[in-house]
């Protein structure tokens, strides 16, 4: 058993794809046309870190409730955790791409960690050794 996908609500597909693939280095696994339950067009967009099993389903906000949740899916706490084999290189890549870090790198018993915001404003931990 495994978790296959986690939905991440975003404002628009293409900027989110650009952030996750271009800035974070994820792979675009799928980008297919789809339909909402009432027949409106949408896309099925999946991104995943290279070699990972679990991916993100980038879901464009549909309606006021979902639009309100963009950037606040975990009520302001860190809700996503990205582990890298080369913390320093990834941190440098992200700062060069103007990713917002809300907490500078620090060392904890489980490794190095820095908190950053994704394109929607959700908080992530960048983790590494």
Query: 9 pLDDT exceeds 90?
Result: yes
pLDDT of 78 reads 98
**Domain map (residue ranges) of the chain:** 1-70, 73-129
Separation of CA 44 from chain center: 15
* Residues in CB range of 95: below 8 A, 6 or more apart: 101
Name the CATH superfamily for 73-129: 2,3-Dihydroxybiphenyl 1,2-Dioxygenase, domain 1 (3.10.180.10)
Q: Residue 126 is inside which H or E element, if any? A: strand 123-128
Q: List, in sequence order, every residue forming a beta bridge with 6; answer none if it has no partner.
A: 56
Per-residue pLDDT reduced to its tens digit, 46-87 = 999 999 999 999 999 999 999 999 999 999 999 999 999 999
Provide the whole-model pTM.
Answer: 0.94
**Selection from 64, 74, 65, 63 nearest residue 8 by Cα:** 74
- The answer regarding whether domain 1-70 maps to CATH 3.40.50.720 reads no
Instruction: Provide the token pair at 97.
Output: 């791409």
């Amino acid at each position: 058993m495994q978790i296959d996908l986690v939905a991440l609500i975003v404002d628009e597909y293409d900027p989110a794809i650009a952030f996750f693939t271009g800035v974070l280095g994820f792979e675009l696994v799928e980008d297919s046309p789809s339909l909402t339950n009432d027949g409106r067009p949408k896309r099925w967009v999946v991104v995943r870190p290279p070699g990972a099993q679990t991916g993100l389903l980038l879901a464009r906000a549909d309606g006021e409730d979902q639009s309100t949740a963009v950037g606040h899916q975990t009520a302001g706490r860190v809700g996503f955790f990205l582990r890298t084999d080369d913390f320093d290189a990834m941190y440098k890549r992200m700062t060069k791409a103007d990713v917002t870090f809300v907490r500078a790198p620090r060392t904890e018993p489980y490794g190095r960690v820095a908190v950053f915001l994704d394109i929607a404003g959700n908080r992530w931990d960048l983790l590494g050794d």
